[in-house]
A = this chain, B = another copy of it.
Amino acid sequence: MSVVARTLLGPGPTNPYPEATAALAQPLLGHLDPAFLALLDETCDRLRAVYRTDNRRTLPLSATGSAGMEAAFVNTVGPGDVVVVGVNGLFGVRMCDVAARCGAEVVRVDAIWGHPLDVDAVLSAHPAPKLIAAVHAETSTGIRNDVAALAAGKGDALFLADCVTSLAGIELAVDDWGIDLAYSGTQKCIGVAPGLSPFTINDRAWERRIERPQSWYLDLGMLGGYVGEAASSGGGRTYHHTAPTAMVASLHAGLGRVLEEGLDSVIERHAATGAALQDGLQAMGLELFAAQGHRLPELTTVRVPAGVDSLAVRGELLARYNIEIGAGAGESAATVWRIGLMGYNARPDIVTLILGALGEILRRS
């Protein structure tokens, strides 16, 4: 079977940085090898740098971004706890589901998909929630929510931000903004294959955590013995589970590339390529889906032109150009395309490629 090579411009995964791919194929290390533990510690340091946090409990969870979401809720929310969730896309909806499975009383505050959350509506939805949660970069709609304002107004509540598509893609400052917990995924703007969830939790949230969460696998107290706390205290390591060492080595390498370029520069690169794509799409006469002023540069949503078969265009992009873009999410499945320019793919040549390919197909159709 011949190897298929794609340019991955969907909502993630993106093509990893070459350094991240190379690290996957390096000789495998055991999860208790001193050489691996040093690499893991440095990976946690690098995650602190991209999250802009000093949280000592900052670590890659051994599962994908959605498990990061689950870890955030199971470690902080128990039966009867009130959780306010801002919902303007698929991942806000998912948060409500996950919180409810922890027994939480979920207060859901909806906004129109493709528009940002109403900060005041979220903050005034309940007088004393234990947790307020929102998605920073809604991958399903291409919208940036103002999590800085939400965190600033949280009062006594904890504030949780889903940073799956925002980490290392747009401005994010966990400590300065007052975000208490955040999780991400490796396959977006960090530019690594999917499989890990970078996670951070501050002392404020830690002190209010559930002592024995319903999940053993995602129990941060037990994980701390292996990674987070030992890393800063210099103490011994307690085996919890077998860490996915190849993926951690790859994350280490991808973050190394990001920090070598410089986080500000990487974010600026995402901004520039996203703007170029969005300008180019509009110059072709296409209409963007996400509300102006709240658009993500790393994930662009664009309306499928009237009379054009969304699926056929995506199929031709894949078959003829080996380019993957995403369908819309939920109600927009057939009427919106999602085009990601993340990590390694946030480059001018990729903008030229996708605008050229899409233009050729639309002119023919």
Which chain A residues have a beta carbon within 8 Å of chain B's beta carbons? 3-6, 8, 10, 12-13, 15-16, 21-22, 24-35, 62-67, 69-70, 94, 97-98, 101-102, 185, 187, 193-195, 212-217, 240-247, 318, 324
Contacts and interface: CB of A to CB of B under 8 A. Distances in A.
Given A6-B27, A25-B25, A101-B214, A195 B244 contact: yes
**Interface of chain A, main secondary structure:** loop
A244 B13 CA distance: 9
17 contacts: A4-B33, A4-B35, A8-B28, A8-B30, A13-B31, A13-B245, A31-B194, A33-B324, A64-B241, A64-B242, A64-B243, A66-B241, A193-B245, A195-B246, A195-B247, A214-B215, A215-B215
A94 B22 contact: no
Contacts of A33: 4, 6, 318, 324
Given A27-B4, A33-B6, A247-B195, A65 B22 contact: no
Given A63-B67, A194-B243, A246-B247, 14 more contacts: A3-B26, A3-B27, A4-B27, A6-B30, A10-B32, A21-B25, A22-B25, A24-B25, A62-B63, A66-B217, A66-B240, A70-B216, A101-B214, A195-B247
Which of A10, A25, A101 lies at the interface centre, i.e. has the most chain B CB atoms within 10 A of its CB?
A25
Contacts of A245: 13, 193-194
A30 B246 contact: no
A196 B8 CA distance: 23
Contacts of A12: 242
